[in-house]
Amino acid sequence: MKRRCVFFDRDGVVNQSPGSGYVLRPEDFHLNEGIVDAICWLKKRDWLVILVTSQKGVGKGLMTSEDLAAIHRKMQDELAETGVELDAIYAHTGEPGCLHQPKPDPEMILAAVERFGIDRHYSWLIGDSDRDIEMGRAAGLAGTIRIVSDKAVRTPADYTLESISSLIPLFEKVL
Ligand SMILES: [Mg+2]
């Protein structure tokens, strides 16, 4: 049977937004309040939870791919302390030879769909920028959720939330 998945953007959704720059060091990575509860809610109900992130700071030479791996290890370790983990991490780094395409190309989602046997038509995306929402649409997902940020909105999502803590009530309604 095909699985259902919620795809999460990273900066501004899973962790506190670094603003216009990048999270370059593990010590600057801070999980958003409420995100652990939202991920736990999904995992308890057998949803896959997969990260799709743009980390072009690697391609720009601001950090190495080892730095990025260390940041993601910290993220998974902090989640593991609460008994959950992300099922996979897909990152577009902008390096020559990067396997993944930049958002809003849906390639990262489609690669996960193929690898995990995900049913796109019952899967969702949560992001905080137009490119996230556009990627979810382009992948043919069931729906998109935007967490409000200071970014301008050109592509409205199916649902817009003021905060991460509103995710679980929305999950209970729409998933
Ligand atoms: Mg973001």
Write out pLDDT tens, residues 123-149. Answer: 999 999 999 999 999 999 999 999 999
Question: Looking at residue 121, what is its pLDDT?
Answer: 96
Dist. CA 144–CA 122, nearest whole Å: 11
How close is the Cα of 23 to the center of ligand 1, in Å?
11
- Per-residue pLDDT band for 64 (boundaries 50, 70, 90) equals very high
Percentage, residues of the chain above pLDDT 90: 97
User: Which of 6-10, 19-23, 110-114 has the lowest average pLDDT?
Assistant: 19-23
Please, are residues 141 and 7 in contact by the beta-carbon 8 Å criterion?
yes
Residues that place a CB less than 5 A from ion ligand 1: 9, 11-12, 128
How close is the Cα of 46 to the center of ligand 1, in Å?
25
Question: Looking at residue 120, what is its pLDDT?
Answer: 97
Closest CA to 126 of 10, 3, 4, 2: 10
How close is the Cα of 149 to the center of ligand 1, in Å?
9
Dist. CA 110–CA 108, nearest whole Å: 6
Question: Looking at residue 141, what is its pLDDT?
Answer: 98
Cβ contacts of residue 117 below 8 Å, gap of 6+?
Answer: 2, 3
In a 13 Å sphere around the CA of 79, the CA atoms on its Cβ side amount to: 25
Domains annotated for the chain, with CATH where assigned, are: 5-174 (3.40.50.1000)
How close is the Cα of 1 to the center of ligand 1, in Å?
31
- Per-residue pLDDT band for 38 (boundaries 50, 70, 90) equals very high
